[in-house]
Structure 1
């Protein structure tokens, strides 16, 4: 079997879920993600222009998100993130606000604005204090837990948490369609997941079968592979840069901690009346630094 694209790479994800002709795949994913009752199931999605954000360099990356509109006007933005940049809450609010405000046209009434939903699929643990792999946030009054409006809805789907539950057999893709679609993102590196999903596709889920067939097809397309490898390399470089920055921050933090410990020791010696030379010999502080502490 041909090596398939890693669907956790945003370019590959969009090639499958955000490409014209694959609307039925996106529809199935959204119905699973939003857990809508049967009578409100999504029947049609319309892919939107991915370039609605173009104000700065960060906005240009939104072309790898999936933007869609539902029949009732609801706007949806799906972003997949491999690397934790520690800015997810601000990032998702920014993109939510851009998509919400982009609906407004001259002469339009505020009452015509439609619900806007952002879905963040992340390949790292983000909400460490929550065990659920799928979390949904809306605007509530703090004391009464009263929903202010359903115009804002933000989802976080954490793949590492889902994998843990999968390995513990706490989730079943045969029973839960969202589990099914999210595990598909992990399938390129897990033969067991691939086998289970292919069985489900053959036995009961025609849309999943279409997704797997399309995934197989794009994974053999030379042009797609070229763009995919370039994007994957960029993400790996980004991950390395983030790791270097984190290591540098940790090193600086340790150094600052060491300096504070030395200063605390020196202050204790000063309070005991120990002379500057002895303090300097024991701590490595200069005479000037010790004098500053005395004042």
Structure 2
């Protein structure tokens, strides 16, 4: 065996999926024992108390037939009728809170059918596992919230609950870690050595590690994983590119006009141009304006306007003319 082939074999043998890629996370949640362990940690219960969990169809968020970008979340029904929606979010999103509460509220209303009484409503729990910093001025990695009295802190109702796990804020590893910190540490793992060490901590994380190994050895699942990973990389690259273009054009515009407004307008123009470019690429692949908006996590009305104007310039799609026609379109915010 040549040295090159040997290295390739070693790389293939050492490959293991990362739970922060939402495809991998969703596959892990297919395992009842893994779900049991993670949900118990979130609810601060003994795993034996989580006697039964059932996966529900995820119908709240659309998956695209072509590139399948979207929110790959996991919706679980607990034995007592409570519902939990678990989401792995790796891309920073300005309106994540608003979107999360929209879907959380939808989980409540979906329980009601015509003629039902309100007593059938059971608590709904949203769990956001974020691979980025959401609360910029708070160093805590875990937050839990529900409706409380502002003055006394007394819980008013547990019908709507939200748990936010910020993986980037995990503190340095310490001995005897338990509960949700163990699971957050596992989800942040990047190599077999880390996962194997964590698998020694409890039987549920061990089960999750064994699932990771099986998935990573499955060629079909590995291709799906790598496709999903590429989509996320492309999205992150687009957002970074848009920001760089905006900053560059902002500096140039600022130099020309010599004032703050010029720099700000240049940044907006750069972001607008990058946004138009990606909308054109996606519409050429047959995606609808709604699908593109979800992909970019942008306002659907903004994308619809770009989409409609771009179509009038088909098939050449002159970006400069499209941007010029858009003008200072309301709602096109630079991120």
Normalised-by-shorter TM-score class = 0.7 to 0.9
Q: How many Å apart are 1:39 and its aligned residue?
A: 10
User: Which one of 84, 87, 107 corresponds to residue 99 of structure 1?
Assistant: 107
TM-score normalised by length of structure 2: 0.66
Instruction: Identify the residue that residue 55 of structure 2 maps to in structure 1.
Output: 47
The 5 Å alignment of 1:1-295 reads 1-17=13-29, 19=30, 22-36=31-45, 38=46, 41-54=49-62, 61-62=70-71, 64-162=72-170, 165-166=171-172, 169=173, 171-172=174-175, 174-189=176-191, 191=193, 193-200=194-201, 205-251=202-248, 258-260=258-260
> Given that residues 2 and 216 in structure 1 are in contact (C-alpha distance below 8 angstroms), is that contact kept between their aligned partners in structure 2?
no
CA 1:120/1:39 → structure 2, altered by over 3 Å: closer, same or farther? closer
RCO higher in structure (CA 8 A, sep ≥6):
1
The answer to whether the Cα contact below 8 Å between 1:9 and 1:80 also exists between their aligned partners in 2 is yes
Q: Give the distance between the partners of 2:135 and 2:118, measured in 1 at CA.
A: 33
Query: What is the alpha-carbon distance in structure 1 between the residues aligned to residue 258 and residue 140 of structure 2?
Result: 38
CA RMSD of aligned residues (A): 2.8
* Inter-partner Cα distance in structure 2 for 1:221 and 1:260: 54
Task: Note if contact 2:44-2:179 (Cα within 8 Å) is conserved in structure 1.
Answer: no
Q: CA deviation at 1:240?
A: 0.9
Deviations 1:198-225 (A, max 9, x none): 333xxxx222222211110011111111
In the superposition, relative to structure 1, how do residues 40 and 145 fare at CA in structure 2: closer, same or farther (>3 Å)? farther
Contact 2:195 2:209 in 1 (8 A): no
Q: Does structure 1 retain, via aligned residues, the 8 Å contact 2:144–2:164?
A: yes
> Within 2, Cα distance between the matches of 1:225 and 1:40?
32
Q: 1:56 to 1:150 in 2, by over 3 A?
A: farther
How many angstroms apart in 1 are the aligned matches of 2:136 and 2:250?
Answer: 22
Q: CA deviation at 1:145?
A: 2.7
Residues 56 and 186 of structure 1, relative CA distance in 2, 3 Å threshold: closer
Partner of 1:275: none
Q: Provide the aligned length of Structure 1 versus Structure 2.
A: 245
Partner Cα separation in structure 2 for residue 10 and residue 183 of structure 1: 16
Return the alpha-carbon distance in structure 1 between the equivalents of residues 48 and 137 of structure 2: 32
Distance 1:260 1:93, change over 3 A: same
